[in-house]
Amino acid sequence: MFAPHGGSLVNRLLQGAQRDALLKKAAGLPAFTLNSREASDLEMIAVGAMSPLMGFMNQADYEGVVSNMRLANGTLWPLPVMLATKPGDDGSKWKVGSEIALKHEDGTILGVMKLESNWKPNKQKELTECFKGDEKHPAWDYLNSVGDCYLGGPIEVANLPQYDKFNERRLTPAQTRAAFAEKGWKTISAFQTRNPIHRAHEYLTKVALEQTDGLLLHPLMGDTKSDDVPSDVRMECYVALLSKYYPLDRTMLAVYPQAMRYGGPREAVLHAICRQNYGCTHIIIGRDHAGAGSYYGTFDAQQIFDGLKPNDLNIQTMRFEHSFWCKLSGSMATTKSSPATPEQRIFLSGTKVREMLASGIRPPDEFTRPEVADILIAAYAGQSKVGV
């Protein structure tokens, strides 16, 4: 395994007497309630998944990231990790140098932040530089939903957000690293997904398994778009697929708690950094990784890694072409492995599959395993809007 990004695994989660003292202090501080994305980011920072970040970005780090994908000290970092005021809050009550109690939406005190920066960012620049987007991009929905000031500084955490599902799979980077070591895995490929795994994904992950000791299936379980498949449905699909079609001694399934940014190339780099922190040595980067609409080129998320400096990242990318069902061979393939003509290739779009599921039609075996199709059809029968 490689060292974490930045050299060491950050731990901002306090225990014992230190935790008790932090909670006591927080009770007397001005309170700031985090939204769901900010709570996810706090968790990722606290357990070291976002190493080397020690808290929400201050102004110098934010401006460096937006302009050139670098923290103020020159360390590679592709996307802002911000705490924003609420709409209508002009930020004047949050004084630089003061401390703020950070609360969950359920009222639980999560931790304390020492405020280093309070500023009004250029959101339009953030949108265009980080997301290559306009006001129809999903990133703008979020940027437009929060207030006009950003607050930044290091955090100390007493409580992580609590969840009512998948808790046994919410492994920290320290825990995944320990599990890999126990299994004797020296090379580990990570697969990032926010969707159920279809046959193309299965193909990519099994090619990766041929080259590494183990596979970490690491589905994103933070905020996603409203038309993405709900997390409980996706998890049911993952468990069903792994239990029958993968070697369980060479696979792990764990929750990745980050919220989706739909940042294409830059988000691919973020996913790689965080997976390095979890102990992975390789990450699968396929077609349109973290994409949204037509904002990014099909393989932009692969090509961005070619522009990084040699020492920026240790984790290696495993890059794949657009895979398809090859009628000629009766299996999954890409243009690198199959001589099939366009007429002999089956590409099924998410839109087409959604239409089929909404009509109660089973997707063909060329797209997904029957066990996964059963779960998705059942989900569509009980919900009016589910994405693939």
Question: Active-site residue numbers?
Answer: 194-195
Buried b (16+ CB within 10 A) or exposed e, 317-354: bbbbbebbbbeeeeebbbeeebebeeeebeebeeeebb
Angstrom distance (rounded) from CA 301 to CA 23: 42
Cα angle 248, 170, 62; round to 5? 125
For residue 295, the one-letter residue type is Y
